[in-house]
Structure 1
């Protein structure tokens, strides 16, 4: 049968509709899905006029190309996708600020805001031009293949030290409060040599000379993060008013600061998040939670800590407990 030009064109259009021709279909689909919200956001006042903001990498179906840092509702910094920290400058002394971070992709899709955190800058010191003294020589301990703990001696300053800045080579990687003398550095590579130094900063942004360097080599291969895990972890069941509870006790990991948040896993699943209000325990921590009213149930429990840089540490050893009828 001879096809008319009109019929041939109609068949061509129909075929392209069914097979998604190159000049029409999925190849031209636009990325409309935004990145996820950044997690693990931390904020530390660096001086009377600066704040150090850090976060964990967000995820996207294509690629995260940048991050927007907000002070309240105002965007104050834009950084590339490979960077996960920034110093926000131009703040006012003795002022409380709220910060958050949003991720964006190449199509301009902006994801939801991460957790909002507040920080209060210290008071300014009038006409302070004297920098803090050089921090005492640092030393370190390797915590497996991906983390190290750093320790250093205190700096002296006529107005007080506001913060300590940690450098890996020439790059600033972390900041802690002026009362701290140690910190945990995570996100390192296995079997790699690192060089760390420390600087002290006062409220007037005067920086001390860099400390002497400490060189550390992370362990080769992979590990389970035990170097960043809580230690001395114990668990037991308790019967009270006809209900069973699991009582936990542990020693927080050494991080250079108080650990306020933990994640508790029960029987292979995330059971609950524990956040200490007020002053978080540094030497011994305890917690109790409800598991039901049935005797003879066996449970497996472990926990991990959220570290100062916003990442999760390694899990504690898993403990197995069984509910029984004894009071």
Structure 2
């Protein structure tokens, strides 16, 4: 419902409402201009008489007929008695059916359907009169007209029309959905089925059906693929077999009536169905070690079979990358033989079937063969030595190179392999302080066979217990969004990060807190920013370097330098009360980090027009504090009272921003403001 209000403007105006995304939007026009109201919104005309004669004093749009003007005039320029209001709307009722018309008024009301009067309560009364009638509306477009007059006294009117959805009353089927169409995504195998929206007011939804070509949708009740209130359905369950499937959709209403089905819409699916895996491969084997592999398997029964692929691997289960492919066989070649590499490994074989579309089956069962050559190397590491460093242990050894220089060695620590070396040295960097380790070294060949174990060597690793020296060059500089900290890079080669401590003075002493994890630039940089509201508070800071072993000076030590700083006071000199504002709350979000532009800030607020003692707002006004002028400067007026957010794309970066918002009313007055601040 839209209530007309009095105005002091010199020219009468009318409000044009149109539906946009389900919401009513308004545009103002003169009383004599043409007014168009998007169905199902009513066109409303105000007359300064009870005979609806002459030119309407005002024309606008109304989403619902439900007004109570009391003893006042319904709009500027109209009398408080002896006036008339007419509502009209033409809309598509789809299949039509039984409806209920309900009307009540002080004084007279008449309701027409396509010019035929359905309700007639036309007299000057002192109490509300009401009437409800049942009407059957034919299918298609029809016009409703509601005439209301007030002779004397209070003015009040209400009218509604609603479909009757009882199954015993409503036997009218919805119309068949129109414009059915289907598209098929070759990449995903999904079919999207779409249709036009039905016009019935009592529509409950749609039922989607699918059938394979050569079959029928079946007898009632039909097997429903999906039920939806949307005008589209994406079927992701289609088999990818190259077959043709058909879709149809039917509308159903709240009484359970179902429309006829649409014409069938067909799609041809892609073929991504692979043949069955070959059988019988697992029955191939040999006794003991083998030098020749022979494989045979059962022929796969598939009309589009193209051939077979044979894979070999030294690991189980066999995966199917191209690197493991050893042969491609023809459609009728269900056999394979080869001489495997003589490495002494186990070799595992599987076979897959491939069709003419390139679809490959799962792997068959596995045939296993153990090959010859499991001779371990004879090379042994000798004269094993170790050098203990602060952060690692370096091992070195020698060996007899009579038989060549291409030998790999595997290093063991406390009996477990920790790495390999193609040479005569290895650096163990995964050691812990104050821990003993026992090392051995063994040669390893290409098949993984290990040679003799070297003599063992035990190392007592001491490790690094020396903390980096004091940080130098520490400064704390007040800035517009906190306090900027800067110091010299620690000269320690093993420094890993820094601890930053903030001191607060209370009860006669300075208390320090580690704030490292709360700072924006992490803990590895030699500068940072303690972001906080600059309100003139004084702080002290200490910075301690930490090495990779966790060594660090005690922050309470006299060696650790301290610097102090007093914040700038960026707070506005003009207070924002907050209390008494109809705007419940306001917040400013740090979207600048996400957008890559520190100067961008987005804000929002909460507002309930029904709880506003000043009446509903016309729009909102956003201000930002300007330190240069020592005043809040208006940034924008929102488009309407339904806009509860604003993005400030011209805010200064690297400062503290203060915002406030007020509600602005039709007479130009503003509410008490609410405010918030943000650090950029």
**With CA pairs under 8 Å and 6+ residues apart, which has the higher RCO, 1 or 2?**
1
* Structure with the bigger percentage of helix: 1
Structure number with larger C-alpha Rg: 2
TM-score range, shorter chain: 0.3 to 0.5
